[in-house]
Structure 1
Amino acid sequence: MNFSGLAKRSGLLPFAAAAVLLFLKALLFRYFLFDHIAWAQVPADLASILVLVGLFDTISPDKSKKYVLWAVNFVVSLLLFASTLYFNYFSTIPTYSALNELHQVGGVKDSVKATIHWQNFLFFADVLVMAIAWLIGRIRGTGVEAGRTSRTWKLGVIALTVLGLFGSYLYIHNSRSIENELAQAEDVGFLNYQVSAALKAQEAAAKVKNIDVGKLTEQVGQLASSNPDLQTTETAPEGFGAMKGKNVIVIQMEAFQNFPIRLQLDGQEITPVLNGLADQSYYFPHFFQQIGQGNTSDAEFMSNTSIYPTAKVAMSTGYGDRAIPSLPKLLEKRGYAAETFHVNDVTFWDRNKLYPALGFDKYFDKPYFNDDHFNAFGASDEELYKTAVNRMVELKNENKPFYIQMITASSHHPFKIPKDKQWLKLPADMEGTQLGDYLQAVHYTDYAIGELIKALKANGLYDNTMLVIYGDHFGLQPQDNKPEDVSRKLDITYQERISRFNIPLIVHAPGAAPKVIKTAGGQVDIMPTVANLLGVSLKDENYTAFGHDLLNTVKNVFGMRYYLPTGSFFNNEVMFVPGKSFDDGTAISLDTLQPVADISKYRADYDYVMKLMGLSDTFVESLPKR
């Protein structure tokens, strides 16, 4: 009996083809993400594929079986393709929850296109081959008819499915202690990782039942006092109330890293405005992004709340229906107007839910700005600031102090700005590169801030206003910018993670003595720092903050996840990234940007950050619906 005859009569061919093709694609996915294939973990992929293909093979009628399995193959191929692009852009593996944000892709289509490489389409090579084979078969009038599945084969498929289910269970169970998402995904494979993520989400949801928020707040305070590496000043808070009653302008700069600050290129200052502002302000050179799945919107969430993003869902999407404690709400109690400005549509990343949840009185989005077609988002930073200043003047005339948040977009990936706004003279080896485009974009962003400052001064607002300026997240994409190339071209030391996640924070407080503060900080620290300067005591307000006032923190410790594995943290000395656990993690010095051999002294910080982020997750989950 020949094989083709057996395949036709038993129904073996559709199952075998689907299983083999998906297995090969799982190997390809591993190679794309990890630059190698960990063969010891490959059986995890095989187990999950046997479960998936076996289930659909079992429930599908014989006549439609091959079509169902080809549909499964296509859907999984699409998921692997999309997940590869997602990893290229975000450096993390998406879970099923990221599918909720697929409708946001249209808003950043230029960025998505820029991440696609031709190799990624290998996931669909078999689809093309089968389409050609089907077309030839139609022309010739031939084709493979579906065979009737034998009872023996059906039992065999069920047995393989059960075997795969048992294998998947073992892999998922044995990896439960791995907090590092990338390490876990490599251990259990893409499909099993989705199941593991769902199980963890269920466990997290169960923990928030019957939570006593008061006790949770006490735990946060006790946790901070138990960490020897977290040190605050023992004297009266520095700067407390120095800006009391003054207006506040918060500028969140799109994709703005710290390395352009004070950088020169062939004698040209990249950020002359911010350089001058940093010299007259509190400047924090060791400041880092902490965003999760919501990216820019997560940065807005953190800077206004001092709560960690869960990294499981964009905070605007997952918690926009909650009563969220925030700085805008605290200031509104003190008579402030709280308003926010963004040139994109307010529904992008569900900001129409986020802004009311944060307590903003009003938001200004796309229709409020003159569209000068600067980039894919529409209006330029200059138009953003013109509209905002007009509104500030109105509030000034009403004798109303204000808290104004502005989200810039002119330096958004892929950093293509109009030719007449490209004022830097780039070296030949930077022309047409992402690095060159990025420098042009941030140079324009800096210029526009200068125009804003001129307008504030012209309208008598500058001397009575505190400016808070920071980056939301990194700009340079790692797959397009090798650290050694950036270092060589700019004559700096560009570390692949520390330099990438390092963003600027500048707080211009009129009348305050300028100071460079080298305490390490993250975006959860913005709100406590600003509240201190405004004379808002978070302790008196019984406010649960998960960050710290950087003006009064001598040594800081804070966590980061999503773009780094859970358990990663920064302190004043290092950036630490765990492996499967703390023991196989790595630490890089913030000062030398070199590896640190002895990591044992950082275990307490690791334990602290894991507990702190867990408490933050529990806290935000426990917030009541609005």
Structure 2
Amino acid sequence: MERTMKQRTALFCGVFLLLLLKLMLLRLFLFNEVEWGRVLTDVFSLLVLMSLLELLIPMKARHVAYWVFNLIISIILFASAVYNVYFGSIPTYTALSGLGQVHQVRSSISTLIEPEHFIFFIDVLVMAIFWIVNRFRQKRTKSSEMTFTQYSFRGRRRISAWKLSMLGLLILGVVISGLYIRKGWGIENELVRAEHMGFINYQVTAILKSNQEKRELAEGSLQDTINEIKELQESYPYRDVDQIGKEPKYFGAGKGKNLIIVQMESLQNFPIHQSLNNQVLTPVMNQLADDGLYFPYIYQQIGQGNTSDAEFLSNTSIYPLGSVAMSTGFGGKELPSLPKLLKKLGYVSNTFHVNEVTFWDRIKMYPALGFDHYYDKPNYTNDHFNSFGPSDEELYRVGIEKLKQVQQDNKPFYAQFITVSSHSPFTVPEEFSKIEIPTELVGTQLGNYLDSVNYSDYALGKLIDSLKQNGLWENTVLMVYGDHQGINSKDTDSSLITSYLGVPYHDQVSRFNIPLIIHIPGLTEGKRIEQVGGQVDMMPTIANIMGISLREEQFTALGQDLLNIEKNAIGMRYYLPSGSFFNNEVMFVPGNGFDDGTAVSLKTLKPVKDISPYREDYEYILRLMKLSDEYVKRLPNRAP
């Protein structure tokens, strides 16, 4: 019996040390270093899991249980490391809701995996080999198998002592972990919070914060939240003082006209007006920008839902939570939206996407947003452009056919196109490629990206040609914007972009910078509008152009009309930690809080030393995003 107790202790300690090493490896992947003082957080949180497991599993099953436990933890840590490569954030348990989408974007995910990520599974592989070899060895005698069932009263006492020691370790781990959680509770920056608390405690905190938010929601009402949003926004001087009391600029410039919004996959702003070896990268969008309204300082604000979150943002002007894709979490809500506002004016709203409508639960989101029809994968001929299937040209071909039918019914339409031809890994089939990529860039992320952006621009030109041929162009407002970043700084050195395109590039500011371009029929002169904004501002801006007064409609928008403000601040989270924001001057990212945060100039892309002028924006954004979360959670549920 004494021997079996030693074996049990050795097994517990061995697995504990193995998993602790893996948690330290994760720290290295996430934070690029391992601070030994913070490893203690992992020690005590792991003690909680291990002692709890030891108390719950039968003695006979402990070897299998530990093997399975080790495998599960390894998979979670592996996935978290890969997840961080793309998102730059720490996943919580809520990210599991997106596992069903993995097979749809497997070609993109595979490019994120590095060989060193598989270190998490080395021991699992060794154990599997050992188990296979052991199967061929002589089976143990029945007497040895009965070791744990034929123990004496003295053995029972030793087992009880073992369980008491595990109970003690469990209590110790819970108490110490609780202190670490309490100490880091108020840190808004998720990366810093996870580093201080450790990965396991960070997951526990996510659960506790979620429960706390549910209790807070039960104490107020939707109207209370709306009133607080209005009061907060009125305290922040957005409006152009010269326009107060006057009709907003560009109000109704597109009134009564059709509206087409094109959400371009992975489109960043830096390729606009640029050339590669004397080949213009985006000639179509360049012309649109020159003739229409071009906003070069717009920044992505998506959360876990990526592209689907961008669709949600541009139609609702509500911040995504970051903890769940908005289509998944709020597709069952009565969402105030652009399609619903246009429906009051007699518009028919259609949305087009070549993927399956179940992808990111769009099957719930589209009805919630008020779209009359959606056209997904079965409506298109698959020309095998990429892993999603049909090309942008095919997307637009079907779209024009459907819009012509609406035109024949003498009804105005709103159509949103969600493109995918420039989706990572940005591989363009040779027969679709329109430019020649320099030999040294062939096969690189940058080379593939520029090739795909150029093709998407070409396809957009085909859409415009079709609108002109069918008599729709002069009666259609066209808005084009990027859904999120394309270039991953971990795969592309920013100096390459500067070298080949001659533009300065910052790994965060430039990465999150997306274009917004609006073509308005009859506009006699194009205008470059350098007002800083985000995707939350797109809906109020286009509503103003379409002649819709959000104030008269009593519509609660978390963003602003970019054509009629002189100051702005927009929040961002998930790809940046909570508390991050862009204002007219800088991108700000907090540390433990505001005082140890950092700022980068949007114009010079250089660090800003004095951050004191931005405290008001920091506090405003934290409050605004919290109210946005309360607002969308308190919206009534949609009838089945």
Q: Is the 8 A contact 1:57 1:69 kept in 2?
A: no
Number of residue-to-residue matches in the alignment: 623
The Cα of 1:162 is off from its aligned counterpart by 1.3
Q: Is residue 410 from structure 1 mapped to residue 407 from structure 2 by the alignment?
A: no
The Cα of 1:89 is off from its aligned counterpart by 1.5
Write the distance in 2 (CA, Å) between the matches of 1:32 and 1:483.
21
Question: 1:552 matched to which residue of 2?
Answer: 564
Q: Is residue 537 from structure 1 mapped to residue 549 from structure 2 by the alignment?
A: yes
- Match 1:250 to one of 261, 266, 270: 261
The Cα of 1:41 is off from its aligned counterpart by 1.1
Question: 1:476 matched to which residue of 2?
Answer: 487
Write the distance in 1 (CA, Å) between the matches of 2:236 and 2:280.
41
Question: 1:330 matched to which residue of 2?
Answer: 341
- Match 2:506 to one of 470, 483, 495: 495
Specify the code of the residue in structure 2 equivalent to 1:260: P
Specify the code of the residue in structure 1 equivalent to 2:508: R
Q: Is the 8 A contact 1:10 1:153 kept in 2?
A: no
Deviates more, 1:90-99 or 1:457-466: 90-99
Q: Trace 1:383-532 onto structure 2 (pairs within 5 A).
A: 383-512=394-523, 513-532=525-544
The Cα of 1:489 is off from its aligned counterpart by 3.3
Write the distance in 2 (CA, Å) between the matches of 1:505 and 1:358.
22
- What TM-score do you get using the length of structure 1 for normalisation? 0.97
Counterpart secondary structure, 2:406: helix
Write the distance in 1 (CA, Å) between the matches of 2:381 and 2:139.
61
The Cα of 1:227 is off from its aligned counterpart by 2.6
- What TM-score do you get using the length of structure 2 for normalisation? 0.95
Question: 2:606 matched to which residue of 1?
Answer: 594
Q: Is the 8 A contact 1:291 1:473 kept in 2?
A: yes
Q: Is residue 42 from structure 1 mapped to residue 39 from structure 2 by the alignment?
A: yes
Counterpart secondary structure, 2:111: helix
Question: 1:208 matched to which residue of 2?
Answer: 217
The Cα of 1:231 is off from its aligned counterpart by 5.3
Write the distance in 2 (CA, Å) between the matches of 1:605 and 1:142.
70
Specify the code of the residue in structure 1 equivalent to 2:176: G
Counterpart secondary structure, 1:375: coil
Counterpart secondary structure, 2:384: coil
Write the distance in 2 (CA, Å) between the matches of 1:207 and 1:485.
49
Question: 1:226 matched to which residue of 2?
Answer: 235
Cα deviation digits, residues 208-244 of structure 1 (max 9, x gap): 2253333322322221222357756424200111111
Question: 1:17 matched to which residue of 2?
Answer: 14
Question: 1:366 matched to which residue of 2?
Answer: 377
Q: Is the 8 A contact 1:14 1:65 kept in 2?
A: no
Specify the code of the residue in structure 2 equivalent to 1:68: A
The Cα of 1:478 is off from its aligned counterpart by 2.0
Question: 1:353 matched to which residue of 2?
Answer: 364
- Match 1:179 to one of 177, 180, 188: 188
Q: Is the 8 A contact 1:285 1:505 kept in 2?
A: yes
Cα deviation digits, residues 360-406 of structure 1 (max 9, x gap): 00100001111101111111000000111111111111110000000
Question: 1:616 matched to which residue of 2?
Answer: 628
Q: Trace 1:97-136 onto structure 2 (pairs within 5 A).
A: 97-136=94-133
Cα deviation digits, residues 443-493 of structure 1 (max 9, x gap): 000000000000000000000000010000000122101223332333221
* RMSD, aligned α-carbons: 1.6
Specify the code of the residue in structure 2 equivalent to 1:22: L
Question: 2:579 matched to which residue of 1?
Answer: 567
Write the distance in 2 (CA, Å) between the matches of 1:593 and 1:294.
28
Q: Is the 8 A contact 1:287 1:520 kept in 2?
A: yes
Specify the code of the residue in structure 2 equivalent to 1:103: G
Write the distance in 1 (CA, Å) between the matches of 2:170 and 2:239.
51
The Cα of 1:133 is off from its aligned counterpart by 2.3
Cα deviation digits, residues 523-558 of structure 1 (max 9, x gap): 000000010011111001111000000000111111
Q: Is the 8 A contact 1:248 1:403 kept in 2?
A: yes
Counterpart secondary structure, 1:463: helix
Q: Is residue 155 from structure 1 mapped to residue 167 from structure 2 by the alignment?
A: no
Cα deviation digits, residues 108-155 of structure 1 (max 9, x gap): 010111111111111111111112222333334378978677333222
Write the distance in 2 (CA, Å) between the matches of 1:247 and 1:548.
22
Gaps of 5+ in 2: 149-154
Write the distance in 1 (CA, Å) between the matches of 2:126 and 2:60.
22
- Match 1:30 to one of 27, 30, 33: 27
Specify the code of the residue in structure 1 equivalent to 2:318: I
Deviates more, 1:360-369 or 1:82-91: 82-91
Q: 1:319 to 1:218 in 2, by over 3 A?
A: same
Write the distance in 2 (CA, Å) between the matches of 1:48 and 1:287.
41
Question: 2:152 matched to which residue of 1?
Answer: none
Counterpart secondary structure, 2:510: helix
Counterpart secondary structure, 2:288: helix
Write the distance in 2 (CA, Å) between the matches of 1:299 and 1:597.
32
Q: Is the 8 A contact 2:300 2:514 kept in 1?
A: yes
